[in-house]
Structure 1
């Protein structure tokens, strides 16, 4: 029997379009080091990490093509109706749906990109509530990692960025990721 996958999670927002996106990329443990090597190989000179919002269009194409070559499986939850002043509410709604989706798959650990101690604590509280309500099984562990320390959190950032462009009609990049990425839409207003 294969060990459970890891799900690496990050978010993206397109505030002007009222969108909050949360993406998870599933990584088999046997592929993790190889994926990390590919991602580190994409860094430019003096670049410490990959981050969608810091990249130019041409570079974004390169990043998506590299991720697409890994044939990723994942889930993107797109929350519509984002209110600028309620971004944490939008995060909780998208996280709840994403974790529910992940609980129906062979996932052993969900790894979130760290947003700092206070915001990570807010995420932990959300996960605790989901466990109390039996919405998230105990078998799924949760962790938060610094994006400089673990390149695998760069993958969902790129996937979420490509999905956000698709929502405004630029679908070529999300299509380049392949058919393994499931898109789910929810209302967050």
Structure 2
């Protein structure tokens, strides 16, 4: 079975977290509808950093009930090394996704910094791009509701405590690097 993956990140103090939400193709439409159903009137996307705590709790609890598996890749970093930390996490995530037969990878766009991701993805694919069916693209999170899951899980996991506990039901693995 092929899978689709959606990546977003969260930086916390001296930690960098990349969350990969893994979704079976049969669940894509349903999960997108469920995520859009969590939007407030006139809201175009869910972005955990912008939400207030009561709303965050509501969203985290709803996400914890979804049929999705999240993987959290974490590494240490400083403000000057956050891009290196991201690329380290991304490379490992891509290696894992290739091993799992991932068909499509969507990353939250970072505009001019997308080039770093593309270089890492090309290096990770190496001589294998024609042997895999992995396609990847950067999208604005307003266009892909499944990126909101990764945003929320990364934020909650990085915040620790009760936030981390709330999303634990969907966290399949934690991979420290």
TM-score exceeds 0.5: yes
Q: TM-score, normalised by structure 2?
A: 0.91
How many pairs align? 176
Q: Report SS of the residue matched to 2:46.
A: coil
Residue 62 in structure 1 maps to residue 53 in structure 2: no
Residue 175 in structure 1 maps to residue 165 in structure 2: yes
Equivalent residue for 1:11? 9
Equivalent residue for 1:41? 37
Q: Deviations over 1:18-66 (max 9, x none)?
A: 0100000011111111111111111112211100100111111111111
Equivalent residue for 1:100? 95
- Kindly report the root-mean-square deviation, in angstroms, between the aligned alpha carbons of the 2 structures: 2.0
Q: Deviations over 1:39-95 (max 9, x none)?
A: 111111221110010011111111111111113212100112x11112111111111
Counterparts of 1:13 and 1:180, CA distance in 2: 18
Equivalent residue for 2:137? 143
Instruction: Quote how far apart the aligned CAs of 1:114 are.
Output: 1.1
Instruction: Quote how far apart the aligned CAs of 1:179 are.
Output: 5.5
Which consecutive residues of structure 1, in runs of 5 or more, have no partner in the other structure?
none
Q: Report SS of the residue matched to 1:147.
A: coil
Residue of 16, 20, 25 corresponding to 2:16: 20
Alpha-carbon distance change, 174 to 181 in structure 1, aligned in 2, over 3 angstroms: farther
Q: TM-score, normalised by structure 1?
A: 0.85
Q: Deviations over 1:127-167 (max 9, x none)?
A: 111222669x633221111111111111100110111012x
Counterparts of 1:126 and 1:34, CA distance in 2: 31
Counterparts of 1:102 and 1:175, CA distance in 2: 25
